[in-house]
């Protein structure tokens, strides 16, 4: 559900930003058409970006370069075909790129948070169960000073999860 909310936010906000910027250059009759094109391109960009950002597989991350390459070719072709629509074509490229960029990096950040937590949890468990480290007073003091506060927060969180049954 959070991914759907992220997708909707990226689509609507990037479309709105671009539409507000280009509305000054449009005729009133074009408003509806342009916002629909922006929403469509933004939806494609956000879908590709979020999918790429959430994936750990490098092949899915290649979506960004492929999508931007395709977009560049389409923009050049459209602009060469009708230079009068240069503003709209440029704005379409911008809305697509913006939604792809924001979707990719926001999704990647959401994927990285749980992975980072699991990494530090494993490191804390390993350090605080290492018999040699616990028996060496100096080494234990250095370790506890450097990561003790972080590990304490992680262990308190884990204890709370165990007690609540989650």
Distant-in-sequence, close-in-space partners of 73: CB < 8 Å, separation ≥ 6: none
- Decide: 107 and 50 in contact? Cβ < 8 Å: yes
Per-residue confidence band for 13, with pLDDT thresholds at 50, 70 and 90: very high
Average of per-residue pLDDT across 39-48? 88
Render pLDDT for 49-106 as a digit per residue (tens, 0 to 9): 888 888 877 766 676 777 777 777 777 776 666 666 667 777 888 888 899 889 988 9
> DSSP code of 56?
-
Determine if the pTM surpasses 0.85.
no
pLDDT of residue 9: 92
Q: What is the mean pLDDT of the chain?
A: 83
pLDDT at 83: 62
Mean pLDDT calculated for residue range 108-128: 87
Quick one: pLDDT at residue 11? Answer: 92
Mean pLDDT, residues 20-29:
82
In angstroms, the first-to-last Cα distance of the chain is: 19
Look-up: residue for tokens 């926001």? 106
How much is the pLDDT for 3? Answer: 85
Res 160 pLDDT > 80: no
Nearest to 3 by CA among 110, 100, 118, 112: 110
């Amino acid at each position: 559900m959070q991914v759907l909310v992220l997708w909707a936010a990226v689509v609507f906000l990037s479309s709105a930003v671009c539409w507000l910027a280009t509305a000054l250059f449009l005729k009133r009759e074009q408003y509806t058409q342009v916002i629909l094109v922006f929403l469509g391109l933004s939806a494609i960009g956000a879908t590709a970006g979020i999918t790429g950002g959430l994936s750990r597989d490098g092949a899915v991350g290649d979506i960004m370069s492929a999508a931007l390459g395709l977009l560049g070719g389409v923009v050049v072709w459209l602009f060469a075909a009708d230079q009068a629509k240069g503003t709209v074509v440029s704005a379409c490229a911008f809305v697509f790129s913006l939604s792809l960029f924001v979707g990719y990096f926001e999704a990647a950040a959401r994927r990285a948070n749980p992975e980072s937590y699991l990494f530090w949890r494993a490191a804390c468990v390993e350090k605080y169960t290492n018999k040699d480290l616990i028996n060496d007073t100096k080494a234990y003091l250095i370790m506890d000073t450097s990561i003790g506060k972080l590990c304490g927060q992680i262990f308190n969180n884990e204890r709370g999860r165990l007690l609540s049954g989650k």
